[in-house]
């Protein structure tokens, strides 16, 4: 048969028709759809047995009891522990812990920096190398040039580090300070012992907060939120005194805007009115028998803090001040909160003392709805470390930060003084630095100065779990397990009582990491001699078991062991012996009352930049998870630009419109920002969130925004020596 | 070279010239094809659509192109059902334009959906309550009808016509074309309406929502009506453009005049209905939902009350008046202005019903959403235009589309 | 149905107390974590950022110092419309989203959805999200995936499901225990459970024993865009008039619905 | 679309909608078949008649 063009075409047409009527196209259509429903690049979660493991979250000082949902051996979710007792609760950060566990920015093995590049090493090698270096220092009688920065001051792990420094021969154990350090000072000055206050917000009927970020991450956020909800249920009042309409201010029944930094003045003014009007007498407390220095205090506030003067300084109207005082003193169980924002910056001692006087005048200590006082946990009862001559020589050297001495007689640790000390000497007075549970190169004010200072230190050992800003500057990293992978005691409060919680490993360590407690013990053992003798435990677990003793059984069952004896009982009844001292010699020594001002010339820097804390942005050692960053509004971060909030009227003065780019300059640095017009901020003030502008971590966080610490410098509180900076003068120029 | 394919009695340009024209169009087509492939392989992140703009440029293009393609069904309806026999001189071209419009619409839809390989679910798992289902069914059925209406034309190509089967088939189809046309008109009335229903039923979107008759919101009827009014205008416009390019008259004036007159009346009545609809919406529907008319025409950088005025007055009343008056139709310049305005008017209507619906905030704490298309969206929207030009060029060159062409342009 | 029927239809819904909501974002993270919601390196474009639960920040429009803000968590409203005629359900051409009369939950079948996005155009709450991108979990993070919820592919619409899988799990558990009913606390959404302020209350709106039943009747309770007839099953509570007014559209002279 | 798809319900809306659809498809299909069959018949008749 001759195949011509025509038959060829017919054949083609026939074949096409035949195919169309065959099941083939339909089958293909169906199969392609099924393929789209099972695209190989869309992961399918592996199924397995679901289980729940309870543990204590240690991502913030709150120490909540949480529960972890597991599928076989993987963590899929963190949840609130279903329990009314204990310290159960969860916040956005705790909910992020699974993402933080599997984060790409985790450090997967011990690392050593060789010529600027990270090289994997084993734990053994790392420990041996650190021990070798430490031995050399000891040989040269330089044991005191070892320093350690610890993110926390409570619990066995920081205690092990502190013990290590002592046994090794260095006084330079330094913790990262927070508002808690100032709280302790407030009460050690007024009550003679460093009590930690717990505010019984849930049972109060009138809460006045002097800039405290009750709903912005202060204290234990989960408990604060719960307490606030109870306030709302009971229709009780919350008053927020703050320059910016923060989330706390927004939830408050009344927001009283105030010039930032003058909160202490307002408190003293209020105290003056209370005393003048003798309102404290209505409180049915045996005032004379439980206070001291009242007359002197009375004279002092009467002289300098008349309502007129206070109104002028603070910008709060006179009638608002008097009304506030009346409502406060009329309430059954009023309470005044102090400590700014979420409390990462310690803050002004006098400001907090001033506010606390209101509590004293309302007589609310140890009363329902008032201030309850807890003593520091004392469950760690180790024998003193054994000191050899070198150690003895070393620990008697002066602390580098000057804490506990001269004008810094009140403070125990002053991390904020370290950069200055380092920068003022030619060669570094620190030869080796341990950094554990903290990220000081990011969290400390005036980051540039901090960096310059720390770059002088010849050898830095980081114990961080993440490639954060500090870890990336280290020489050796011994990465800690993430809290879901390790045992650790966590100091917390259960209700109004001190407690210790137990973090338990929920999964086996997923990387080649080492518990920092183990790391210290191993380093000590490698050093031998009295140092090794001081660390007789086999490992951290043994140390922890021995420390907790019988408490551990309770913690295993209930997660928390509550220290019933840790509650200060003064004022609870007429027979109590405690006295609240308004003025005493020690207080006089701090030269009351001085409040710090923002750094910078008003002429050159007409605006004031303040920081604000947000639940959605973690600003401490733990940084944001991808989910948390996803929740951040587009008026805070857009692409990589950070926004500063500004009052529309102020913006108009500077020719700025919503979203426009501007150059923000402070005495400490410059940054390109965008502006967000916000009616909730005072004129002349601009604000910026803390916790952004990371250079470390992963692509989900790094490079987004500016680290406010690069723009703000620290200001030493003249009373305590702690950083009390609440802002800095600034100028914005449209670009 | 291709003279064997060219219909008898007409003259066409040289193949070389034709090829050049084709190359230019194909280049544009390829640009669109690249964008289309990007959308298919990389996903719809290639567009500037977002969660506030789930419907955007493409859906507008779809709605507009189908409204403009309405010339086919309405001319068919007038010729076969109403019996306006003069329209046989333009019906072929109306069908060709219709095919182009409907194929384009389906192509755009195939790019627009997130899972094109599953798009047949709309048929298989049809939700009979969804306006979109109605659209999909009627659209595809009507495309089949259009192709049936187009096939006889194809078979009349000299080369094919020589085969007896095609010759007879073409003849038979002509014979019962009224049945097809009637079915097509039925389907068209529905899907044109359903497209109006697409936005009209959105009771969560006060800008689009309209009350109506039974399950059909007023937009259902308004869309059919406006497509019937403006579709023929588009057919006339394309005919005129073709005449301009071919540099000869292809359809007699009386045919165009008749179609334009009917269009004029349709447009006039439509615009009255549209005014009533807008008034009722503004005066009754919106206040019930807590809105006033001006809410939808203020506080944003683009959608002012001007767009309503342009749509109703400039592109509605004015062309209607021109097309209704015989003086207006006689004046060449006025006539073309009216035709173009009517076409623009229906496009604006489809634009606001899609884009302004998405743009206007409904929750009090949201702001207007503004959007501009990405180049991929623009390219894929131009793709059908290029396809249309190619298709029409081929059809014109090789098929006896204009029965009056040889009479009007005798070859000596 | 006869009286005392065991299988009475349920109508799950929420009452969210805006006086308590602090805008902390815990609900958003809990939701994303529970439901395998993907995340990208840049999520600052909120129009391309999948957040089944989204917390809006409302402003009262007044200037300093009278300015006020309020946070408003917005899950899917699971509109009942008129007899289950939710805005999105009736428009879906492929029945990929449906109103379940037994639970009142508006479902979404990802493998059925072909991405026409008509439902997104229909939803006035912007509760529906499109997968513009392929979901990508960085190496190691795919371990976080919850096996009870299937991850979605590019090109489909997704939204809050009231953690419907948790209802299934609760029913399965009850069945295994030989019960035919589940208690209020056995089925709670991830956001409800996570809210540190206990601002979200979830339950059967028709069940007198459930907390939501009485909470929804509080005079300070309102729903979003009620006037459109969407008949949502998420109620909000606020003691502030401006917040309640922001929940719906009002003409200038109209008073806020009490 | 078909009564054997599991979404199918025998209710009014399905009957009206799908009824309309299949009615239209039926007319188109029948018309087309008529034309093709007739054309095929006519062309083969013509062919055998040698009329071409």
For residues A614 and A725, state if they share a domain. Answer: yes
What pLDDT score does C4 carry? 44
Residue B339 lies in a domain: no
Across the interface, do C42 and A639 touch by the CB < 8 Å criterion? yes
Judge D/A contact: 3 or more CB pairs < 8 A.
Answer: no
Q: Structural domain of residue B85, as residue ranges?
A: 58-200
Residue A56 lies in a domain: no
Strands across the sheet containing C200-204: C200-204, C12-17, C234-237, C221-222
Provide, as residue numbers in chain C, all residues whose Cβ is less than 8 Å from the Cβ of B50.
45, 47-48, 132
Instruction: Please give the backbone phi and psi of residue C39, each rounded to the nearest 5 degrees, phi first.
Output: -140, 145
What pLDDT score does D41 carry? 84
ipTM, interface predicted TM-score of the complex: 0.93
Residue A687 lies in a domain: yes
Structure tokens at C258: 């009490």
What pLDDT score does C258 carry? 67
Structure confidence at residue C180 as a pLDDT band (50, 70, 90): confident
What pLDDT score does C2 carry? 42
The chains in contact with chain C, meaning 3 or more Cβ pairs closer than 8 Å, are: A, B
For residues A233 and A139, state if they share a domain. Answer: no
For residues A708 and A657, state if they share a domain. Answer: yes
Give every CB contact of residue A367 below 8 A, 6+ residues apart in sequence: A200, A333, A571
pLDDT along chain A (735 residues), means of 10: 65 80 88 94 94 94 94 96 79 96 96 96 96 95 96 93 96 95 93 90 96 94 95 96 96 96 96 92 69 88 94 96 96 95 94 95 90 84 94 95 91 94 92 96 94 94 96 96 96 90 95 97 96 96 93 89 82 58 90 92 95 94 95 96 97 95 96 97 96 93 95 94 95 94
How far apart are the C-alpha atoms of A618 and A438, rounded to whole Å? 13
Across the interface, do B118 and A36 touch by the CB < 8 Å criterion? yes
Residue B289 lies in a domain: no
Look up the CATH number of the domain holding residue A347.
3.40.228.10
- Checking if the pLDDT of C3 tops 80, the result is no
Residue A725 lies in a domain: yes
Contact by Cβ (8 Å): A488, A151? no
Instruction: Please give the backbone phi and psi of residue A643, each rounded to the nearest 5 degrees, phi first.
Output: -105, 145
Across the interface, do B126 and D42 touch by the CB < 8 Å criterion? no
pTM of the model: 0.94
Residue B64 lies in a domain: yes
Query: What residues of chain B score a pLDDT lower than 70?
Result: 1, 412
Judge A/C contact: 3 or more CB pairs < 8 A.
Answer: yes
Structure tokens at A450: 């901090």
How far apart are the C-alpha atoms of A373 and B288, rounded to whole Å? 58
For residues A672 and A526, state if they share a domain. Answer: no
What pLDDT score does D48 carry? 52
Residues 346 to 375 of B: which have CB under 8 A from any C CB? 357-358, 362-366, 369
What pLDDT score does A574 carry? 44
For residues A218 and A356, state if they share a domain. Answer: yes
User: Average pLDDT in the D21-48 region?
Assistant: 82
How far apart are the C-alpha atoms of C92 and A41, rounded to whole Å? 27
For residues A363 and A412, state if they share a domain. Answer: no
For residues A370 and A420, state if they share a domain. Answer: no
For residues A287 and A411, state if they share a domain. Answer: no
What pLDDT score does B169 carry? 85
Provide, as residue numbers in chain B, all residues whose Cβ is less than 8 Å from the Cβ of A35.
117
Q: What domains does chain C contain, in order, with CATH numbers?
A: 12-246 (3.30.70.20)
Residue A592 lies in a domain: no
Q: Residue C82: helix, strand or coil by DSSP?
A: strand
Look up the CATH number of the domain holding residue A537.
3.40.50.740
Across the interface, do B183 and D5 touch by the CB < 8 Å criterion? no
Look up the CATH number of the domain holding residue A697.
2.40.40.20
Residue A556 lies in a domain: yes
B84 — contact with chain C (CB < 8 Å)? no
Across the interface, do C64 and A634 touch by the CB < 8 Å criterion? no
Residue B207 lies in a domain: no
Best of D1, D12, D19, D34 to mutate (most B CBs within 10 Å, chain B): D1
D27 — contact with chain B (CB < 8 Å)? yes
Best of C94, C109, C156, C159 to mutate (most B CBs within 10 Å, chain B): C94
How many residue pairs bridge chain A and chain C with CB atoms within 8 Å of each other?
196
For residues A631 and A726, state if they share a domain. Answer: yes
What pLDDT score does A634 carry? 95
Residue A108 lies in a domain: no
Total number of domains constituting chain B: 1
User: Average pLDDT in the C156-183 region?
Assistant: 95
For residues A727 and A675, state if they share a domain. Answer: yes
Q: Structural domain of residue A13, as residue ranges?
A: 5-37
Tell me which residue in B201, B203, B287 faces C251 most closely, judged by beta carbons.
B287
For residues A396 and A327, state if they share a domain. Answer: no
> Residue A331 carries which DSSP code?
S
Total number of domains constituting chain A: 4
Residue B193 lies in a domain: yes
Domain closes at, from A374, A401, A435: A374
Tell me which residue in A104, A615, A682 faces C25 most closely, judged by beta carbons.
A615
For residues A258 and A340, state if they share a domain. Answer: yes
Residue B232 lies in a domain: no
Best of A37, A95, A246, A612 to mutate (most C CBs within 10 Å, chain C): A95
Residue B93 lies in a domain: yes
């Amino acid at each position: 048969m001759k195949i011509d063009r025509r038959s060829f075409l017919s054949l083609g047409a026939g074949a096409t028709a035949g195919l169309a009527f065959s099941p083939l196209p339909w089958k293909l259509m169906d199969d392609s759809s099924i393929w789209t429903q099972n695209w190989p690049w869309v992961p399918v979660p592996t199924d397995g047995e679901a289980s729940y493991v309870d543990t204590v979250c240690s991502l913030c000082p709150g120490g909540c009891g949480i529960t972890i949902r597991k599928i076989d051996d993987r963590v899929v979710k963190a949840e609130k522990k279903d329990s009314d007792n204990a310290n159960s609760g969860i916040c956005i950060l705790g909910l992020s812990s699974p993402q933080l566990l599997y984060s790409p920015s985790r450090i997967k093995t011990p690392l050593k920096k060789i010529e600027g590049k990270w090289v994997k090493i084993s734990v053994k090698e790392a420990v041996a190398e650190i021990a070798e270096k430490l031995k050399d220092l000891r040989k040269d009688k330089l044991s005191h040039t070892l320093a350690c920065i610890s993110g926390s001051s409570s619990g066995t792990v920081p205690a092990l580090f502190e013990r290590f420094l002592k046994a090794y021969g260095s006084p330079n154990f330094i913790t990262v300070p927070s508002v808690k350090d100032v709280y302790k000072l407030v009460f050690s000055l007024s009550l003679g012992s460093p009590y930690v206050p717990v505010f019984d917000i849930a049972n109060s009927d009138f809460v006045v907060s002097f800039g405290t970020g009750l709903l912005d991450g202060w204290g234990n956020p989960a408990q604060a939120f719960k307490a606030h909800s109870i306030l709302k249920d009971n229709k009780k009042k919350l008053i927020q005194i703050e320059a910016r309409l923060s989330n706390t201010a927004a939830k408050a029944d009344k927001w009283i805007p105030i010039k930032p930094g003058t909160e202490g003045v307002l408190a003293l003014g209020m105290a003056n009115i209370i005393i003048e009007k003798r309102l404290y007498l209505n409180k049915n407390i045996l005032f004379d028998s439980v206070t001291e220095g009242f007359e002197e205090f009375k004279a002092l506030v009467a002289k300098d803090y008349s309502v007129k003067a206070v109104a002028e300084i603070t910008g709060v109207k006179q009638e608002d001040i008097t009304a506030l005082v009346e409502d406060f003193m009329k309430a059954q169980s009023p309470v005044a909160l102090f400590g700014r924002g979420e409390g990462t910056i310690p803050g002004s001692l006098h400001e907090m003392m001033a506010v606390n006087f209101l509590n004293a005048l309302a007589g609310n200590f140890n009363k329902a709805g008032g201030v309850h006082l807890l003593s520091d946990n004392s469950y760690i009862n180790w024998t003193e470390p054994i000191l050899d001559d070198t150690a003895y020589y070393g620990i008697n050297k002066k602390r580098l930060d000057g804490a506990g001495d001269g004008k810094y007689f009140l403070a125990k640790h002053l991390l904020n003084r370290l950069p200055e000390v380092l920068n003022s000497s030619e060669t570094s007075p620190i030869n080796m630095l341990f950094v554990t549970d903290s990220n000081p190169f990011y969290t400390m004010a005036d980051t540039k100065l901090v960096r310059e200072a720390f770059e002088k230190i010849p050898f830095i050992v980081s114990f961080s779990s993440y490639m954060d800003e500090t870890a990336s500057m280290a020489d050796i990293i011994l990465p800690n397990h993430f809290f879901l992978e390790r045992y650790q005691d966590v100091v917390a409060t259960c209700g109004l009582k001190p407690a210790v919680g137990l973090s338990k490993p929920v999964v086996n360590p997923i990387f080649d990491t080492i518990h920092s407690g183990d790391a210290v013990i191993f380093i000590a053992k490698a050093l031998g001699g009295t140092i090794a003798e001081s660390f007789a435990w086999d490992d951290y677990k043994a140390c922890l078991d021995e420390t907790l003793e019988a408490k551990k059984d309770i913690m295993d069952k209930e997660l928390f062991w509550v220290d019933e004896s840790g509650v200060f009982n003064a004022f609870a009844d007429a027979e109590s012996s405690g006295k609240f001292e308004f003025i005493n010699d020690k207080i006089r020594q701090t030269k009351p009352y001085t409040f710090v001002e923002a750094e910078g010339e008003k002429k050159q820097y007409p605006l004031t930049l303040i920081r604000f804390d947000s639940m959605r942005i973690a600003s401490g050692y733990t940084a944001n998870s991808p989910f948390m960053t996803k929740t951040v509004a587009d008026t805070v971060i857009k692409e990589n630009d950070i926004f500063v909030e500004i009052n529309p009227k102020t913006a108009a003065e500077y020719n700025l419109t919503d979203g426009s780019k501007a150059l923000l300059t402070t005495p400490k640095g410059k940054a390109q920002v965008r502006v967000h017009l916000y009616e909730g901020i005072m004129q002349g003030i601009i604000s910026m969130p803390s916790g952004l502008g990371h250079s470390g971590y992963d692509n989900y966080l790094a490079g987004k925004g500016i680290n406010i610490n690069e723009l703000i410098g620290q200001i030493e509180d003249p009373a305590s020596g702690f950083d009390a900076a609440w802002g800095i003068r600034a100028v914005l120029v449209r670009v | 070279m291709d003279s064997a394919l060219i219909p008898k009695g007409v003259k066409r340009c040289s193949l070389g010239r034709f090829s050049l024209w084709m190359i230019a169009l194909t280049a544009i087509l390829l640009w669109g094809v690249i964008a289309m492939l990007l959308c298919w392989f990389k996903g719809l992140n290639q567009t500037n659509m977002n969660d506030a703009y789930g419907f955007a440029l493409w859906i507008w293009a779809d709605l507009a192109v189908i409204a403009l393609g309405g010339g086919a069904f309405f001319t068919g309806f007038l010729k076969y059902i109403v019996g306006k026999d003069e329209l046989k001189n333009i019906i072929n071209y109306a069908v060709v334009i219709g095919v182009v419009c409907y194929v384009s619409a389906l192509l755009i839809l195939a790019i627009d959906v997130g899972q094109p390989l599953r798009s047949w679910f709309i048929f298989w798992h049809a939700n009979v309550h969804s306006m979109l289902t109605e659209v999909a069914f009627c659209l595809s059925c009507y495309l089949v009808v259009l192709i049936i209406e187009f096939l006889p034309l194809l078979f009349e190509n000299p080369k094919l016509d020589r085969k007896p089967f095609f010759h007879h088939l073409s003849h038979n189809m002509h014979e019962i074309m009224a049945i097809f046309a009637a079915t097509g008109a039925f389907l068209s009335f529905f899907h044109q309406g359903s497209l109006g229903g697409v936005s009209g039923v959105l009771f969560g979107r006060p800008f689009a929502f309209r009350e109506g008759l039974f399950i059909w919101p007023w937009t259902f009827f308004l869309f059919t009506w406006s497509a019937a009014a403006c579709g023929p205008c588009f057919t006339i416009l394309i005919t005129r453009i073709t005449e301009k390019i071919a540099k000869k008259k292809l359809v007699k004036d009386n045919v165009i005049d008749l179609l334009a007159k009917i269009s004029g009346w349709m447009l006039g009545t439509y615009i009255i209905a549209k005014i009533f609809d807008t008034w009722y919406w503004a005066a009754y529907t919106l206040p019930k939902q807590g809105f006033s008319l001006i809410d939808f025409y203020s506080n944003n950088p683009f959608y002012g009350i001007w767009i309503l005025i342009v749509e109703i007055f400039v592109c509605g009343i004015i062309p209607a008046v021109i097309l209704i008056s015989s003086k207006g139709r006689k004046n060449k310049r006025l006539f073309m202005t009216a035709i173009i305005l009517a076409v623009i008017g229906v496009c604006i209507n489809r634009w606001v019903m899609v884009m302004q619906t998405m743009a206007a905030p409904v929750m009090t704490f949201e702001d207007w959403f503004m959007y501009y298309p990405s180049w991929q969206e623009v390219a894929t929207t131009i793709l059908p235009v290029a396809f249309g030009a190619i298709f029409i060029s081929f059809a014109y060159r090789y098929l006896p589309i204009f029965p009056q062409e040889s009479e009007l342009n005798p070859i000596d | 149905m006869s009286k005392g029927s065991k299988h009475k239809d349920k109508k799950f819904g929420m009452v969210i107390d805006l006086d308590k909501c602090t805008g902390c974002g815990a609900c958003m993270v809990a939701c994303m974590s529970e439901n395998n919601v993907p995340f990208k390196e840049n999520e600052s474009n909120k129009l391309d950022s999948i957040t089944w639960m989204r917390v809006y920040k409302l402003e009262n429009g007044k200037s300093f110092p009278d300015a006020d803000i309020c946070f408003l968590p917005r899950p899917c409203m699971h509109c009942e419309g008129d007899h289950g005629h939710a805005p999105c359900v009736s428009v879906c051409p492929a029945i990929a989203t449906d109103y379940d009369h037994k639970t009142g939950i508006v479902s979404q079948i990802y493998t059925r959805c072909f991405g026409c996005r008509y439902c997104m155009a229909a939803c006035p709450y912007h509760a529906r999200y499109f997968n513009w991108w392929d979901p990508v979990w960085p190496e190691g993070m795919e371990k976080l995936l919850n096996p009870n919820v299937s991850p979605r592919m590019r090109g489909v619409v997704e939204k809050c499901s009231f953690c419907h899988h948790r209802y299934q799990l609760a029913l399965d558990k009850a069945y295994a225990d030989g019960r035919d009913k589940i208690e209020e606390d056995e089925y709670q959404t991830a956001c409800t459970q996570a809210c540190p302020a206990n601002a979200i209350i979830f339950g059967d709106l028709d069940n007198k024993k459930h907390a939501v039943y009485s909470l929804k009747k509080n005079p300070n309770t309102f729903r979003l865009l009620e006037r459109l007839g969407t008949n949502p099953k998420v109620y909000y509570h606020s003691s502030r008039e401006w917040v309640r007014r922001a929940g719906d559209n009002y003409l200038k002279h109209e008073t806020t619905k009490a | 679309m078909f009564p054997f798809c599991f979404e199918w319900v025998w209710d009014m809306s399905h009957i009206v909608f799908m009824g309309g659809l299949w009615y239209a498809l039926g007319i188109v299909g029948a018309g087309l078949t008529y034309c093709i069959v007739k054309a095929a018949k006519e062309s083969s008749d013509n062919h055998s008649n040698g009329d071409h």
